[in-house]
Amino acid sequence: MSEHSSNNAQKDEQKNDFIRNIIRDDVKAQKYPQIVTRFPPEPNGYLHLGHVKSICLNFGVAEEFGGVCNLRFDDTNPTAEKQDYIDNIKNDVEWLGFEWAGEAHHASGYFDQLYAWAVQLIEQGDAYVDLQSPEQIKENRGSFNEAGTASPQRDASVEENLKLFNDMKEGKFAEGKAVLRAKIDMASPNMNMRDPVIYRVMHQEHHQTGDKWCIYPMYDFAHPLSDALEGITHSLCTLEFEDHRPFYDWAVEKVGFDVPPHQYEFSRLNVDHTMTSKRKLKQLVDEHIVSGWDDPRMPTIAGMRRRGYTPEGLRDFCERVGVTKVDSVVDFRLLEFSIRQSLETTTARAMAVLKPLKVTITNFAEAVSSWESQKADSVNARWDDDAQTLWLTQPNHPNVDMGEREIPFTETLYIDQGDYEIEPPAGYKRLSPEKPEIRLRNTYVLAVTEHILDDAGNVVGLKATIDPATLGNNPEGRKVKGVIHWVSASQGVPATVRMYEQLFSVEDPSSVADVHQALNPDSLTELNAVVEPSLANAAAGTRFQFEREGYFIADTADHSRDKPVFNQIVSLRDSYKPA
């Protein structure tokens, strides 16, 4: 079991969703020797946020009830599947903190048995080869108000169907010229039971089986029988498969399993401003609207990992969302809340100025020359005469022991452009001509004496003084409100900082026919920032809280010592309060 599954008994007692209650009853009744679940992704794209809920549920209940969970790739469509997708899916599951039982399974590993069962259905009179075109099959399927029309081949003999099915297997039919259909009920009110197609011709090489097959089972046929083969006890899927359950049960029953698996449906994860259609996400990748499946704006697990989201935060989010049978839309801010909660005590602090405004301290040499006698006991510093730098030692986290770092304080600094306003708005608490003093984080009180304008009237620089007596001390005789962050201008390191908004500007992007019309043009902004020197040495994938700015991660693809790149994970705070 994974490390995060400690104290399962307590967690099990806390979670009382309907699926866990069903399993709890089955365990009490000793219905199965062991609970067996499965996570069955189709390897036709990268996993997304919706899959996180399914992963947490399937692996979670297996852990909680002393069972196992299989990872199975439902790879029945070789035209859309790639080994790259398989490799990334495995990586995603492991990164989230889960372990599957034994080796990963593939539906393609059961193709011989599935073919034998298809032959069995023909011999039982439960399947037939249909030679109608796909258009004819669709037209003759009927509607919700009228029954379908039987295929001309529906009542062909067993011998004829066996021959035709073998011809399909031997490659004697072109794609779309023949299919194998289950023989159920063309008048069923459930459209999925109107003789669904269970095998089709596809002259495509498979990434697992090579060119052995030119016919492939449909997902709805392979899935229940794969579950049955693996001894799955609880097949958990989302509500859109509820209407497919009668065929799931039909297939397992017709093949003949003494202890068949049972399918249970739960509501899918719908998050506002988020799209989880793999087809449309692939379109964004193919059209280079995003940089790839792992673009930090993408709702894929790979994208969220590169963005800096934590597995702990994602698991917490899914636990807060819960498991129900009622479809609803979750506020995206709940996801950010969970991520933020997971970062608070696990990330070191650092300073980065995202929009630099240069400040020259006109009394720097005079002020710091007496720092030794003026400093408070709480200040740990050293003076480098050659570099004219006061090195300040600061803890990497105010409340958690994460070590210390040195920060250079020099004659020229950068503060954020937003921390000085000539005409400040109401409630503004930072620097302005009327409020020239403020505390620089961990150092002196600074007073602005002059602002420098360009030809357009924009502030492009400040001149200021520091109060020598305020290094680690409060000023005497006055109160200075407000603290701002800063970075040394001479020793700070230029860095690219990527700021993100949601990729989609509409609340329900799946409702927009053209995905381009749902895109947010401001989803990515790249800033030329300056960061403290310690950040340049950060390993790719290291997360930080940039003080007063938010949580960031050293990008796992582009970050280097020479060219630091940081991605915004989430803002420092939000007005959202979870129930």
The CATH number given to whatever domain includes residue 187 is: 3.90.800.10
pLDDT class of 368 with cuts at 50, 70, 90: confident
Do 123 and 162 contact (CB within 8 A), yes or no?
Answer: yes
Residue 68 lies in a domain: no
In the predicted model, what is the mean pLDDT of residues 372-395? 82
**233 is known to lie in a ligand binding site:** no
User: 268, 355, 441, 463: which one is catalytic?
Assistant: 268
At residue 42, what are phi and psi to the nearest 5 degrees?
A: -85, 125
Q: What is the average pLDDT score of the chain?
A: 94
- pLDDT for res 63: 96
3-class SS at 3?
helix
Closest CA to 484 of 349, 343, 351: 351
Q: What are 70-112's pLDDT values in tens digits?
A: 999 999 999 999 999 999 999 999 999 999 999 999 999 999 9
Q: Are strands 437-440 and 348-350 parallel, antiparallel or unpaired?
A: unpaired
The CATH number given to whatever domain includes residue 499 is: 1.10.1160.10
Q: Which of 195, 217, 239 is the last residue of a domain?
A: 217
pLDDT class of 476 with cuts at 50, 70, 90: confident
Residue 91 lies in a domain: no
Q: Which domain holds residue 402?
A: 352-485
Cα(476)–Cα(423) distance, integer angstroms:
28
CA distances from 175 to 118, 151, 166, 448, 524 (A): 19, 18, 15, 77, 43
Residue 535 lies in a domain: yes
Q: Which helix (H) or strand (E) holds 446?
A: strand 445-453
Closest CA to 546 of 302, 408, 343: 343
- What does DSSP assign to residue 504? B
**238 is known to lie in a ligand binding site:** yes
Q: Which of 197, 217, 237 is the last residue of a domain?
A: 217
- Report the b/e string of 109-148 with b at 16+ CB within 10 A: bbbeebbebbbebbeeebbbbbebeeeebeebeeeeeeeb
Cα(345)–Cα(399) distance, integer angstroms:
8
User: 20, 72, 194, 278: which one is catalytic?
Assistant: 278
User: 42, 230, 437, 547: which one is catalytic?
Assistant: 42
Residue 288 lies in a domain: yes
3-class SS at 565?
strand
- pLDDT for res 579: 65
- pLDDT for res 3: 43
Q: Do residues 277 and 182 both lie within one domain?
A: no
The CATH number given to whatever domain includes residue 480 is: 2.40.240.10
Cα(502)–Cα(505) distance, integer angstroms:
7
Q: What are 18-68's pLDDT values in tens digits?
A: 999 999 999 999 999 999 999 999 999 999 999 999 999 999 999 999 999
- pLDDT for res 295: 98
pTM of the full structure:
0.92
Q: Do residues 308 and 415 both lie within one domain?
A: no
The pLDDT of residue 481 is above 70: yes
**384 is known to lie in a ligand binding site:** no
Q: What's the total number of domains in the chain? A: 3
The verdict on whether 268 is a catalytic residue reads yes
Kindly state the tokens that stand for 372.
Answer: 């030794």
**25 is known to lie in a ligand binding site:** no
Cα(364)–Cα(381) distance, integer angstroms:
16
Cα(21)–Cα(240) distance, integer angstroms:
22
**268 is known to lie in a ligand binding site:** yes
**44 is known to lie in a ligand binding site:** yes
